[in-house]
A and B are shown apart, each in its own frame.
Chain A
Amino acid sequence: MTDATTLTLSTTQLLAIPMLPLVGALIAGLFGWLIGDKLSHWITSGCVILAALLSIDIFIQVLDGAEFYGNYWTWISSGDLVVNIGMMIDPLTTIMMVTVTIVSACVHIYTIGYMHGDPGYARFFSYISAFTFSMLVLVMGNSFFTLFFGWEAVGLFSYLLIGFWFKKDTANVAAMKAFIVNRVGDFGFAVGILAVWYYFGTVDYREVFALVPGLVSSMSTMSLLGWEVDTITFICLALFVGAMGKSGQVPLHVWLPDSMEGPTPISALIHAATMVTAGVFMVARLSPMFEFSEVALAVVIIVGAITAFMCATIGLVQTDIKRVIAYSTCSQLGYMFVACGVSAYSAAIFHLMTHAYFKALLFLAAGSVIHAVMNNQDIRKMGQLRKYMPITYITMLLAGLALAGIPPFGGFYSKDLIIEAAYARDMGWVSDIAYYALMSGVVMTAFYTFRMFLLTFHNSDRVPAETKAHLHESPKVITIPLMILAIGAVGAGMWGYYVLDVTNAEIIHGYFRDSLFVLDAHNSLMALELLEQDHTQSHFWLEYGALILALSGITLAFLMYFKESKMPAKIAGMFPGLYKFLLNKWYWDEFYDATIVKPTRALGNFFWQKGDLGMIDKGMIHGGIVDTVKNGASLLRNIQSGMVYHYAYAMVIGVFGLLTYLILNA
């Protein structure tokens, strides 16, 4: 809550942050053909860099305690429905703004090199700038409607960018799949918005949050197919379905790995660092609602834990460099959701931030590799690349260590905290499952990351002869963003942990102040602190367990992949069923095809052929009306002439007859 003493931020500066990328996008999109590629990329990149600088400035002011809340215009007003467009700037928003704009700026610069010579060059810049605008709206908005607006807009640009290379049919299918699966999530989100407005009479965050405790204490319930469900639980779960779609959580994760069909810069920006984290942001933003529903929190944990575990297992065997990272993204998002579920929202956002840097770096480095080996993404056809591309090699190593959770790199601080919080929070079997899922995820994460890394840069040289001559380190426009992000990958963890104090158990004293809300009974970070102060028992496993697992995962990867060996094939041969199961991604696509896609099409066809054409057209019209006339009245057989004039004539006569009758009787 703002009070009189709170510093406020400059409206113009705040508005400029989303507007700059929008203006850049419009210029590049509408006039790219006129101003040329160079000007297009300078304008868009310039706008985003400026937005990043402005965001950093806002961040510094927010650190000093500044906040902002305001409405700009009325979007919809009808009866007692009022939807305003406005902004709410607090520590949670600001950390997202900074992350989004910095990663976006890096990706813009990187793109100059990566997309060089592509026929859709200006269009690409237009899309990624417009995406940045949408993402900023998503995080800066002050109501469920602005959130939904940004949500749908990022989905649109994700769709456009996955299908950017529209000649590739796989890309088009992946784009469509991404949009539709996201829409399944949006179905839940939309239902959540309906319920929010109905029960709270407003869609403004602040007003809703203020009314939540009242709704909870009124014991309001909704009957759901015979079940009585707490209203707040219903609302949170509906909204969470939206988060599952956008953040690639089981069972709506199937679109995210396929989205890798898009150009690599957007895999980094959209499908790793920013858009897919929107679901986590949503749950954290809505912590004043989720906190009041134990059921919703438990569901968040379970979904997150299953995703973290399952996607990690799939990542173990994939051979496409981008898909390995994509499954890792799903898995890491699962970690963030578990953190939200155990009410360690600050840990979730912390991991979101560190993950944004190191995962964007992993993707961009992978893109640099893909560029060098002439668009091959199969790690079985790489190897020994470190000799050719040292900068990519080093930066990717740093990102890999951060992802695996090795101190002092980014992921160590944030991921470890999530695991410890899951351990400390006692929610019965739910938190137990989560803890074990996350722990086993740690060893798998370390393993698949280094499997991919070693197969790419070490192991034996399996690069096809025809690409050999082409191998080279990428140009500076590509390597400089890698180095900038590497700073983030290495330092973000320490910076957040030691400087910002983001994970202070008393949230209100840490970086996040009151932008996150945790009930005292749910405060897992506080429970963790108490646990650690308890010296009567050993905390060795709690403190070092994850690190030991990560190191053993890396060691295993080194044993199997540092040098060419027969071990991987042998192990796969030992468990052929399991191997195939993982390689086929737990058969989710096949499952959906059989249970949803095919039946839906069959149903559509049935309605069309049997319903519309059969029952209505043939049965009702021809059989029922036309045939009766034809068979019954031979005198009127001429009515079948098809001359509509006859009908019109008949109608006129009929109308006059009727009128005459009525008038005579009146």
Chain B
Amino acid sequence: MDLHNVLDFPILSLAIFLPTFGALVIWLFIKDEHAIRWAALATSVATFLVTLPLIFNFDTSTSHMQFEEFHEWIPAFNINYQLGVDGISMPFILLTSLLIIICIVSAWKCIQTRIKEYMISFLILETTLIGVFSAMDAMLFYFFWEALLIPMYLMIGIWGGKNRVYATLKFFLYTLVGSVLMLIALLAMYFEAGETFSMLAFMDYPFNFQWQFWIFLAFFIAFAVKVPMWPVHTWLPDAHTEAPTAGSVILAGVLLKMGAYGYLRFSLPMLPDASQYFAPMMIGLSLVAIVYISLVAMMQRDMKRLIAYSSIAHMGFVTLGTFVFTVQGLEGAVINMISHGFVAAALFLCVGVMYDRLHTREISDYGGVVNVMPVFAAIMLFFSMANVALPGTSAFIGEIMVLLGTFAADVDTLPVSAKWIAIAATISVVLSACYTLWMYKRVVMGDLVKDTVRSMGDVSKREFMMFVPLILLTLWVGFYPVPVLDVLHATIENLVEQSTTSKLDAAAALLLEHAPAVHAGTH
């Protein structure tokens, strides 16, 4: 028997509120800056340990929600505190709790002002992120979704770079528009599905095509902003460049996945017919992300901006895999998200390590870094190669699965064979190598010419240690992804079933059921 069944222990609640508790303690009781750092680290490590049973006690044989919790919250509107995870959400909770530790370690030295507020925002952010991935009540989901904007906004606004005001404004405006639309969609579903916010109920309820159409569009915008998808992506490069290193790490590592998670959790299972109907658009935008954005990435002069664009391109694979409705495509999409969580996070850390030394992100300010930072050069090489999806790294598994899933897809609504979509997406093999290696060459390779670069020292032990788990995880998923895939199988197979089963017949039946009543009423 599983541990969580026996003890009925609220692991998810503990994981959600432990960081907030830590933040409270720091806020109320701790004054010493050093103690604040250690307390934040201890809290994040404790949270990570709390989330570990999610893996070890995970039942891979079922697509049902696990570790469920249920409490009434606002009974007047049938809003409940309902939690649960399945194969899609569980990995992201682990990813969050791991990356938060790395974020806190990365900020150890470089954040010197308002360290208390910084650590508190990070811990609150962790609460909201774990909340988003474990909420099974749509309102609760929305609550966490919105709440996380506040710490994120503060992080860029207070500890960000020169243009932070512009970046925060843009970030906030974009996500706000999306959020409002999502709220409207959720309310519409609430009333249509019989005054419930239960996400499981939404999945079961047969929305007719009209409903699905409009709700899909609202969700589409809300989630597309977060992914981000072209053309609502331009906030991301600005947010990344202005955010402090740890902010970029968590933004790329976890926040971007929320959008794609939204598609997997809401659009596909709740609105299967609209998902099929809009698949060509989603696939088209994914291809734009892969090709157009890669070309834009190539021309960037700012390292963070380049990696931000590269992130958008990689997320294009995620949305592509999602909207081809095949097991390989969807599992590849999730693996891609996890992998991107390691690789993009690590690349932003790399930039952070250099930024801490020279306080510039311009590619042209570097050159020949390998001469003074050989260990760092090797680390960055590793993650650059992961970014180009070399076999043996997690990115390869994700991308090849998405491509295989796309090639084999059978999407009726597509005007061309899915094979050509897959072939077009494969172009990424070339483009990702172009922008990644060109940056690596200009930054790391070459002779020492600049005196500023000459003064850089190699990675410290602390910096080295924050890369180690990411390297090991990238290799692990690259060589032995089977345990991760096992977690996904049941859930994804169920999702494929849900997203390819039309709800329209049931919706029509429902209408018929009501129709005689209406008819009778008129008599």
**Contact flags B417-456 to A (C-beta < 8 A → 1, else 0):** 1010011001101100110011001001111100000000
**Contact flags A5-47 to B (C-beta < 8 A → 1, else 0):** 0000000000000000000000000000000000000000000
Complex contact A651–B489 (CB within 8 A): no
Q: Which of B152-199 contact A (CB under 8 A)?
A: 153, 157, 165, 168-170, 172-173, 176, 179-180, 183-184, 187, 191, 195
Complex contact A612–B391 (CB within 8 A): no
Residues in chain A near residue B445, CB distance under 8 A: 163, 166, 172
Complex contact A654–B441 (CB within 8 A): no
Most buried by B among A81, A159, A169, A601: A81
The total number of A-B Cβ pairs within 8 Å is 172
Which listed residue, A76, A81, A600, A611, touches B292 by the CB 8 Å rule?
A611
Residues in chain B near residue A163, CB distance under 8 A: 441, 445
Stretch at the interface among A102-110, A186-194, A478-486, A550-558: A186-194
**Contact flags A146-186 to B (C-beta < 8 A → 1, else 0):** 00110011001001100100111100110110011001101
B344 at the interface (CB under 8 A from A): no
CB distance from B420 to the nearest CB of A (A): 9
Complex contact B173–A647 (CB within 8 A): yes
Residues in chain B near residue A608, CB distance under 8 A: 296, 299-300
Q: How far is the CA of A187 from the CA of B168 in the complex (A)?
A: 39
A498 at the interface (CB under 8 A from B): no
A198 at the interface (CB under 8 A from B): yes
Residues in chain B near residue A152, CB distance under 8 A: 390-392
Complex contact A153–B370 (CB within 8 A): no
Q: How far is the CA of A76 from the CA of B405 in the complex (A)?
A: 13
Residues A176 and B390 in contact in the complex (CB < 8 Å), given A78-B328, A195-B407, A197-B404: no
Q: How far is the CA of A152 from the CA of B389 in the complex (A)?
A: 10
Q: How far is the CA of A9 from the CA of B107 in the complex (A)?
A: 55
Complex contact B433–A183 (CB within 8 A): yes
Complex contact A603–B429 (CB within 8 A): no
In the complex, which range does the number of interface residues on chain B fall in?
A: 35 or more
**Contact flags B376-391 to A (C-beta < 8 A → 1, else 0):** 0000010001001011
Which listed residue, A77, A148, A197, A625, touches B482 by the CB 8 Å rule?
A77
B400 at the interface (CB under 8 A from A): yes
CB distance from A147 to the nearest CB of B (A): 10
B401 at the interface (CB under 8 A from A): yes
**Contact flags B397-408 to A (C-beta < 8 A → 1, else 0):** 100110110011
A644 at the interface (CB under 8 A from B): yes
Which listed residue, A190, A601, A617, touches B299 by the CB 8 Å rule?
A601
Residues in chain B near residue A78, CB distance under 8 A: 327-328, 331-332, 401, 485, 488-489
Q: How far is the CA of A191 from the CA of B297 in the complex (A)?
A: 24
CB nearest neighbor in B for A80: B327
Most buried by A among B328, B426, B438: B426
Complex contact A176–B295 (CB within 8 A): no
Complex contact B234–A77 (CB within 8 A): no
Which listed residue, B170, B404, B437, touches A194 by the CB 8 Å rule?
B404
CB distance from B91 to the nearest CB of A (A): 15
B481 at the interface (CB under 8 A from A): yes
Residues in chain A near residue B331, CB distance under 8 A: 78-79
Residues in chain B near residue A74, CB distance under 8 A: 482
12 A-B pairs with C-beta separation under 8 A: A163-B441, A163-B445, A167-B368, A167-B446, A175-B441, A183-B388, A187-B429, A194-B419, A195-B419, A607-B296, A625-B173, A666-B195
Q: Which residues of B contact A (CB under 8 A)?
A: 77, 153, 157, 165, 168-170, 172-173, 176, 179-180, 183-184, 187, 191, 195, 231, 233-234, 292, 295-300, 326-328, 331-332, 368, 370-371, 381, 385, 388, 390-392, 397, 400-401, 403-404, 407-408, 417, 419, 422-423, 426-427, 429-430, 433-434, 437-438, 441, 444-448, 479-482, 485, 488-489, 493
Nearest 6 A/B pairs, CB to CB:
A79-B327, A604-B295, A167-B447, A604-B299, A194-B407, A149-B391
11 new A-B contacts, CB < 8 A, other than A153-B390, A184-B430, A198-B404, are A76-B400, A77-B482, A78-B327, A167-B447, A191-B426, A193-B400, A197-B404, A223-B417, A600-B298, A651-B179, A659-B187
